[in-house]
Chains A and B, each alone.
Chain A
Amino acid sequence: MVKNQFVAKNNRGQITVEAVLILVLFVAIGTVAARTLNDMNAAASLVQNPWRLLSGMIESGVWREQAAAAQLHPNLKVNRRLSLTGELEPASGGP
């Protein structure tokens, strides 16, 4: 029987190594997540997409993009004085 002379009897420091590994893992996950969010233009999606509809609502009172909403502006239709019609379909006439 060969005597193993390289058995590490001193385990001190192992937890430190593991802590470093976990930290590296966290850093890696964080970096990937941050990069993914940046690549997705997350801020632009959060603000620009809603703003397209908001600009239509602000100008014409209709939840559509600005150009489409402008065609439904209440003042374009003599018989339309509320924005409710615009949320359904363009007013095609009056009562």
Chain B
Amino acid sequence: MKLIKNQNGLLLFDFIFALMLIMALSTVLLAVSFTLSVTEAVQYIAFSTSRAYYGSHRTPQEQLAAAEAKFEVLRERPSFRKLINNDWFDLTPAYGNFADDYGVGPEEGKNLNGVKILMTAKVLSFSVPLLGKSGEENDFQANVTSYIGREPTFSECRQVQGSRGNAIQGLQGGFSSLPGFQYINIGDNGC
């Protein structure tokens, strides 16, 4: 009887199955690790943008413009551009006070001024053999936040000081009755 002495291919199917499983698991681990690394970078972008938003300016609109400009500058930097500006991640920034998003009133939400970046990790939405589909793109979203506040602007301070001056003028004090009395707003940087 002639026996088959070469059994090299006997476990080929097992090998293929194991290889596919390992590659699928490796893909999952790599995608999650990469997403967490990019999250760290986005946290830096959020903080830096929030710093730009924090600083005082002439008007709140100009504060907003400064923050938007900072975000765009950072996003377009070569080091970030390759990470973020591709089909793997999507960043949507928002600026202002986010008390409504947390379901709190103005008093509790006074520390929620800053920047919130909605990060969509599209890289985590994939389909691998054997393990199936991981989910839709919208399943992998997270808010990267930096709420460090916002300084009052020149125009806001002028408005407050103007109201204050009117209130002072409305007082029944001796100064108001002086001839030629005029309230002059002297502010350092508005406040």
Contacts and interface: CB of A to CB of B under 8 A. Distances in A.
A59 B144 contact: yes
A44 interface: yes
A58 interface: yes
B17 A33 contact: yes
Nearest to B146: A75
- Residue among A43, A51, A73 facing the most chain B CB atoms (10 A cut-off): A43
A44 B17 contact: no
B141 interface: yes
Interface in B1-33: 1-4, 10, 13-14, 17, 24-25, 28, 31-32
B1 A11 contact: yes
B2 A47 contact: no
Contacts of A66: 142-143
Nearest to A48: B135
A59 B133 CA distance: 26
B131 interface: yes
Q: Which secondary structure characterizes the binding site on chain B?
A: mixed
Q: Which secondary structure characterizes the binding site on chain A?
A: helix
B10 A22 contact: yes
Interface string A66-90: 1000110101101000000000000
A12 interface: yes
Nearest to A51: B140
A7 to B, nearest CB: 15
Interface in B138-163: 139-145, 147
A91 interface: no
Given A58-B143, A70-B102, A73-B102, A46 B3 contact: no
Interface string A21-61: 01100110010011001100111101110110011001110
List 10 tightest A-B contacts by C-beta distance, closest first.
A43-B131, A55-B142, A75-B111, A43-B134, A47-B134, A58-B142, A59-B143, A42-B131, A38-B132, A26-B13
Interface of B: 1-4, 10, 13-14, 17, 24-25, 28, 31-32, 36, 39, 43, 101-102, 104, 108-109, 111-112, 119, 121, 124, 126-135, 139-145, 147
